[in-house]
Amino acid sequence: MFRENHLRRLLEGRRILIAGYGREGRSAGQIIGRLLPEAKPAIADGNAQIAEQAAKGYDLIIKSPGVPLSVLGGAANVSSLTDLFLQVYADRVVGVTGTKGKSTTASLVHHLLPGSLLAGNIGIPLFDIIDRLNADSVVVAELSCHQLEVLRHGPRVGVLLNLFEEHLDHYASYHDYKMAKMQLGLRQDANGHLFYCTDNDELASMVQTLRGSLPASLHPYSHCEVDPGEAEALRKLPLPGAHNHSNALVALRVARLVSGKSNEELGNLMASFKGLAHRLQPLGCYAGLQWFDDSISTIPAATLAALGSLGRVDTLIVGGMDRGIDYAPLADALRAGAVARVAFVGKAGSRVLALVGKPEFDYIVEDDYSAIVRWCADSTPRGGTVLLSPAAASYDAFRNFEHRGDYFRQQIENL
């Protein structure tokens, strides 16, 4: 195992608690078992059990992403799988975060760097790839706010895409959420590189406020500032939308920095990139309509970007779990006639409808996706476009956004 002794030194001789035993917790347990078979870490799962165990004074608590810091009651020595991995392998890592676009951007960077390893929040725990690492490895890590909040060392290359209101059910304030994201840059060193998008006002403001505490070389980027070689490469991107082109621009620049390849070489690779499921994914023609799955959009800004990307949307499905974020921009767009008909779903959908007031468009309030899909098919003119872009989380009715998107597709296929 590459740098096995370094990782062992972080763990040996310590009483360890694994707080949360999901995918990352199990991955941490497996590595500890291999490196230190005599260690026997304690395992707690579920907030009540975790809170009880955390109070017992462990030397190291490895917190899983889904465990709020508040559950640990201010316990010292809190770490995470991501934190431990970056303490050992940060110089091999490109870390990508942002409220939206991080999975697509991380996947595109990985695509532009053949031979790189993709892991992190995209579904592959970082410890699961350790056996594949060597001195020449490049790891592209998608990193969530939950993975970043207890970071001690940032990646050599960091990418901050954007900041929008999100996860307000997990953090005490929007500021706390933003500061969790900003740990990516705050924990880098002077040898690092930090790319950030100046088109996003929240992010640009945070970078400006924290500039004196960001030690890495700063690389601002904007989709409005593209040189001819980059423009030619971006023309080969097979994904629609200004947000995708912005994310592709930073992926291009990061890949150029890491690999030394030219815009032309990277553009040729970009042409073969396939978009990810549930991200403005075309589902095909059913009942004479074009259907799109954008279930990943869990905030209003993402839904507005999806509407702009497609150009014409006849029917929109919006809503789900209400986490208290600001829906005024979306309500304003709907009131202004962004679409001709809307299906409002869940508590979030009802709140958007209340903000719209008295709609001048056709609409239903419905939680059953089979009924929603049938209404869309019956009410949308033939040749029209139907978009699922909820601007809300899915946990009120589904396991996650993938489950919601898959169920939506099944209902369409049953028409």
Q: Which SS3 state, helix, strand or coil, does residue 122 take?
A: coil
Residue 346, judged by CB atoms within 10 A of its CB (0-12, 13-18, 19+), counts as buried
Residue 168 pLDDT? 78
Q: How confident is the model at residue 170 (pLDDT cuts 50, 70, 90)?
A: confident
**Phi, psi (rounded to 5 degrees) for 140:** -100, 115
The amino acid that residue 176 corresponds to is D
Contact (Cβ atoms closer than 8 angstroms) between residue 255 and residue 107: no
Q: Which residues contact 371 (CB under 8 A, 6 or more apart)?
A: none
Fold (topology level) of 281-413: Protein-Tyrosine Phosphatase; Chain A (3.90.190)
User: How far is the C-alpha of 20 from the C-alpha of 43, rounded, in Å?
Assistant: 7
As given in the structure block, the two tokens for residue 415 are 């028409």
Residue 17 pLDDT? 98
The mean pLDDT value for 348-353 works out to 98
What pTM does this model have?
A: 0.92
Contact (Cβ atoms closer than 8 angstroms) between residue 222 and residue 199: yes
Q: For residue 29, give the DSSP letter.
A: H
Residue 10, judged by CB atoms within 10 A of its CB (0-12, 13-18, 19+), counts as middle
As given in the structure block, the two tokens for residue 25 are 């917790």
Looking up tokens 């059910």, which residue turns up?
169
Q: How confident is the model at residue 294 (pLDDT cuts 50, 70, 90)?
A: very high
Q: Which residues contact 179 (CB under 8 A, 6 or more apart)?
A: none
Classify domain 83-270 at the CATH superfamily level: Mur-like, catalytic domain (3.40.1190.10)
As given in the structure block, the two tokens for residue 130 are 């350790």
Domain residue spans in the chain?
Answer: 4-76, 83-270, 281-413
Contact (Cβ atoms closer than 8 angstroms) between residue 306 and residue 282: no
User: How far is the C-alpha of 252 from the C-alpha of 237, rounded, in Å?
Assistant: 11
What CATH number is given for 4-76 in this structure?
3.40.50
pLDDT in tens, 195-250: 999 999 999 999 999 999 999 999 999 999 999 999 999 999 999 999 999 999 99
Task: Find the helix or strand (DSSP H, E) in which 195 lies.
Answer: strand 193-197
Residue 355 pLDDT? 98
As given in the structure block, the two tokens for residue 111 are 């695509």
Across the chain, mean pLDDT equals 97
pLDDT at 169 over 90: no
User: How far is the C-alpha of 203 from the C-alpha of 15, rounded, in Å?
Assistant: 39
147-152-155-160 Cα dihedral, nearest 10 degrees:
60
pLDDT at 166 over 90: no
pLDDT in tens, 24-55: 999 999 999 999 999 999 999 999 999 999 99
Residue in 31, 77, 36 with CA at minimum distance from that of residue 54:
77
